[in-house]
Structure 1
Amino acid sequence: MVKLLIADDDIELCQLLQEYLTQEGFEITLAHDGGSAAKLILNDTFDLMVLDVMLPNMNGFDVLKEVRKESQVPILMLTARGDEIDRIVGLELGADDYIGKPCNPRELTARIRSILRRTETDYSRQKKKLRSIHLDDLYINPGSREALVNNEAIKLTATEFDILYLLANQAGELVKRDDLSEKCLGRSLEAYDRSIDMHISNLRRKLGTDIKGEERIKTVRGVGYQYVSHDT
């Protein structure tokens, strides 16, 4: 059974989500403060965490920072609806995606399933059928979901890995932001949505420059992105 950790100090909301998600086949653990959430996620095995920004004791951003030091477990942030700053900060710190509060339990479930499809065991087996990619000093193994630069493993979230694989698999070609969102976030790109842009920014920072000291991922303003390879 898929195990989820929900970290939110709204006890009534947590109970509602627990009841709904349990009926959807998930095993739910609740945490009502940041300290408890960080301890649970780092000391137990969960498939995904739903993390509210506004938590007592330790806010959601601090929890996210602590978790990302040790784990790439998928994290879906709960942010105030329309609060662009919280969304940007969450994505910068390594969240896989976000959803605004108050959220519809059905929409939340869809977001959770979308993220899990990219990380769960059965889906990983399907990934093994995809080709490995070797471009210049970059090597990507879709079976193990590993990315290496100069033979050194790069820690990537599930979303970052999928974006990198898609771009590298079409190296030299333009990939539209809409396509990246549909295929890597499992949802349509919303107006003024900067999720893909923030994930690209994280990838650039983690991967560093290419063998010529240039950006690996080129921005085609207003349209999308292109992975630049000197092998192509």
Structure 2
Amino acid sequence: MPHKILLIEDDISISEMVQSSLTKDGFIVTTAFNGEEGLTAFNTDSFDIVIVDIMMPKLDGMDVIKFIRERSSVPILIMSAKDSDVDKALGLGFGADDYIAKPFSVIELSARVKAAIRRATKYSTPEQKVEHPLVIGKLKIDLANFSLSKNDIEINLTSKEFDILKLFVSHPNRVYTKAQIYNFIWNNEYYGDENVINVHIRRLREKIEDDPSNPRYIKTLWGIGYKWEG
């Protein structure tokens, strides 16, 4: 079955370009031209990924992301001309999975879409190998079923958050630079965009740590990167 994409973009020329390119790649693309139309489409159909602009009439992209993330773990890709660290942090903090700045290459966009869907799909694919859950402090991490609980209370993670967690717990005490984390998790070359890594680490800490400002599990090695202490 072809994967379905919801594209929420108020610029008609950009929307048509993206829709045409992704359709040629075999995707089914539903378009919406403002936030309200986007949420109406989201509520009436199911999608494998949502691509959303930030600056839109009626309802902006941040509100759209917040609404969707409260109801679904579907991958969300921000596509916007606003390329400041603040906007990236805010969008990712609301629960977006990735960010691509305008102007962009449709080849890069397609690659990011495919990578996001591939990461999300693996969580719904049963694995043949049975692994016992890891119990680390208050955490219970089931790598086979992609689930996490703390004090027996389930914690919802995005696909990237779980990928980072799995990377850390599979190699405790190994130090990872931000470039290494980006290469492993995003499957892309690292161009020094530390903010994307920082936001995901902060979100993960907020979910698993008792005191995110004084973390027990994910340790920062200043000027180097991060490591997991279990």
What TM-score do the two structures reach when normalised by structure 2?
0.90
**In structure 1, what is the equivalent of residue 56 of structure 2?**
55
Q: Which amino acid aligns with 2:69?
A: R
Q: CA deviation at 1:180?
A: 1.1
Q: Which amino acid aligns with 1:77?
A: I
Q: Which amino acid aligns with 2:30?
A: T
Q: CA deviation at 1:124?
A: 5.0
**In structure 1, what is the equivalent of residue 25 of structure 2?**
24
Q: Which amino acid aligns with 2:63?
A: D
Give the Cα separation in 2 of the matches to 1:109 and 1:49: 13
SS at 2:174 equivalent: coil
How big is each residue's C-alpha offset from its partner over 1:5-25, in whole Å with a ceiling of 9 and x where there is no partner? 111001111111111111101
**In structure 2, what is the equivalent of residue 227 of structure 1?**
228
Give the Cα separation in 2 of the matches to 1:109 and 1:157: 20
**In structure 1, what is the equivalent of residue 92 of structure 2?**
91
Q: Which amino acid aligns with 1:65?
A: K
**In structure 2, what is the equivalent of residue 76 of structure 1?**
77
**In structure 2, what is the equivalent of residue 159 of structure 1?**
160
Gap change, CA 1:128 and 1:190, over 3 Å in 2: farther
Give the Cα separation in 1 of the matches to 2:58 and 2:179: 38
Contact 1:5/1:29, CA 8 A, preserved across alignment: yes
Q: Which amino acid aligns with 1:111?
A: R
How big is each residue's C-alpha offset from its partner over 1:146-176, in whole Å with a ceiling of 9 and x where there is no partner? 1111221111111111111111111222122
SS at 1:118 equivalent: helix
How big is each residue's C-alpha offset from its partner over 1:70-127, in whole Å with a ceiling of 9 and x where there is no partner? 1111001012264222111111111111000111111000111111121115x75476
Contact 1:51/1:60, CA 8 A, preserved across alignment: yes
2:174 matched to 1:169?
no
**In structure 2, what is the equivalent of residue 109 of structure 1?**
110
Give the Cα separation in 2 of the matches to 1:187 and 1:127: 25
Give the Cα separation in 2 of the matches to 1:130 and 1:10: 48
- Percent of paired sites with the same residue: 33
Gap change, CA 1:157 and 1:189, over 3 Å in 2: same
Give the Cα separation in 1 of the matches to 2:117 and 2:21: 17
SS at 1:189 equivalent: coil
Task: Answer with 103-112 or 132-141: which moved more.
Answer: 132-141
Contact 1:81/1:102, CA 8 A, preserved across alignment: no
Give the Cα separation in 2 of the matches to 1:174 and 1:218: 9
SS at 2:194 equivalent: coil
Q: CA deviation at 1:188?
A: 2.0
Gap change, CA 1:215 and 1:136, over 3 Å in 2: closer
What TM-score do the two structures reach when normalised by structure 1?
0.89
**Root-mean-square deviation over aligned CA pairs:** 2.0
Task: Answer with 220-229 or 28-37: which moved more.
Answer: 220-229
**In structure 1, what is the equivalent of residue 139 of structure 2?**
138
Give the Cα separation in 1 of the matches to 2:6 and 2:188: 22
In structure 1, stretches of 5+ residues that fail to align are: none
SS at 2:226 equivalent: strand
Give the Cα separation in 2 of the matches to 1:216 and 1:134: 13
Q: CA deviation at 1:220?
A: 1.0
SS at 1:198 equivalent: helix
Q: CA deviation at 1:128?
A: 5.5
Give the Cα separation in 1 of the matches to 2:200 and 2:128: 24
How big is each residue's C-alpha offset from its partner over 1:176-197, in whole Å with a ceiling of 9 and x where there is no partner? 2112111111212222431111
